[in-house]
Amino acid sequence: MNIRPSSRSPAVDSPLLNAAEIAELAFQARHWIAACRSREVRARHAGDWPSAHLGGGMDFEEARPYVPGDDLRDMDWRSTARLRRPFVKTYREERQPVWHIVVDRGPAMRFGTRRRLKVTQAARIALLACHAAEGMGAAVGLSLWDEQDVLLSCRQGRARLPELAHAVVAPCPPLPASSGGRSWAARLQALRMNLPRGSHVWVLSDGHWLDDSTEAPLAALSAMLRLHFVRITDPAETTLPAIGHALFEDLSNGFLRHIDTDSNEWRRMVHAQCEERRMRQDALLQRCRIRPLDIATPVDDLVNEIMRHE
């Protein structure tokens, strides 16, 4: 349950981040890029970092029948001997790295008690990832899951960054619980249909929509793409603050209730419910072979959190 705002202040119609904060995230992204490149060099194997040329690929794709003009160096002698006709090996083409950032801007994300809203922290991570991806030579795209979903297709180039930033930091005033947009399963299926295999996909959300209806499409997405699930949390969701009587709203169904937050029993119950929900989410993500990264709203140093996870 999240605290329902008692009145609408002008701040809710302001962008989530100002110019100085955006510039600071661009500076932080340099540390992410440097750390990734350093790790890749130490690993001594090919990676996704930029190159002047894209080659024909070194990952075996399949064997196909030989046709005149094929390079004899690509002959698949085992298949040729087994099937008694010439076969050649084909290799997966090297493609430009693709990063696609997904920001959940649903009603439950427009909540926060420490420093910033959950959706604001998601916007910070999204901008950090956009700048890091651009610095690594990747094409970058963006999906905003909102009342009306927004899709910015993947393209390369620094000139794209202002457009991405403008979309990510757009104001997020409170929404009624009924404002859900498309179904979560349909959103996951759309990602799988529209992105090339092997793309890096960063899903930034509190994960409140993780349930039986989304498990299958999430598992299919994880099997095809390099899925990074960043779960945004607020401290008040795990430890209810003692602020006396307050009006609360469950943003999943709009239900309102007055609660005495000074009651130890209420605080224990809220904590137990939060832990149970997190354990259910963890179990679902594990079945989908996804290891979530938890980042709370007060966290400022995002790069260290991300690098520790990787």
Q: Domain limits of the chain?
A: 10-41+97-309, 59-92
Q: How much is the pLDDT for 91?
A: 73
Arithmetic mean of pLDDT, 73-97:
83
pLDDT of 4 strictly over 50: no
Per CATH, the number for 10-41+97-309 is 3.40.50.410
Instruction: Kindly state the helix (H) or strand (E) to which residue 260 belongs, with its residue range.
Output: strand 255-260
User: When comparing pLDDT for 210 and 237, which is higher?
Assistant: 210
1 close to 277: Cβ distance less than 8 angstroms: no
CA–CA gap between residue 224 and residue 196 (Å, rounded): 9
Arithmetic mean of pLDDT, 93-102:
80
CA–CA gap between residue 25 and residue 132 (Å, rounded): 10
pLDDT of 56 strictly over 60: no
Amino acid residing at 181: G
Q: How much is the pLDDT for 227?
A: 94
CA–CA gap between residue 86 and residue 76 (Å, rounded): 8
CA–CA gap between residue 104 and residue 119 (Å, rounded): 7
Report how far apart, in Å, the C-alpha atoms of 172 and of each of 35, 117, 184, 233, 296 are: 32, 9, 19, 17, 18
Indicate the SS3 state at residue 252: coil
Confidence of residue 245 (pLDDT cuts 50, 70, 90): confident
Angle between helices 118-135 and 161-168 (to 10 degrees): 170
Q: How much is the pLDDT for 184?
A: 93
145: tokens are 């899951």
Arithmetic mean of pLDDT, 218-225:
93
What predicted TM-score, i.e. pTM, was given to this entire model?
A: 0.77
C-alpha of 61 from chain center: 28
Indicate the SS3 state at residue 275: helix
How confident is the prediction for the chain on average, in pLDDT? 84
Arithmetic mean of pLDDT, 298-306:
91
Arithmetic mean of pLDDT, 238-247:
80
- pLDDT tens, residue by residue, 163-187: 999 999 999 888 776 665 679 999 9
- Percent over 90 (pLDDT), the chain: 48
- pLDDT tens, residue by residue, 276-287: 999 999 999 999
Sheet holding 139-145, edge to edge: 150-155, 139-145, 98-104, 200-205, 226-233, 293-296
Confidence of residue 49 (pLDDT cuts 50, 70, 90): very low
Give 143's DSSP letter: E
275 close to 135: Cβ distance less than 8 angstroms: no
pLDDT of 7 strictly over 80: no
Interstrand relation of 226-233 and 200-205 (parallel, antiparallel or unpaired): parallel
205 close to 294: Cβ distance less than 8 angstroms: no
Q: How much is the pLDDT for 190?
A: 92
Other Cβ atoms closer than 10 A to 171: 10
CA–CA gap between residue 181 and residue 142 (Å, rounded): 17
- pLDDT tens, residue by residue, 104-136: 999 889 988 888 999 999 999 999 999 999 988
207 close to 293: Cβ distance less than 8 angstroms: no
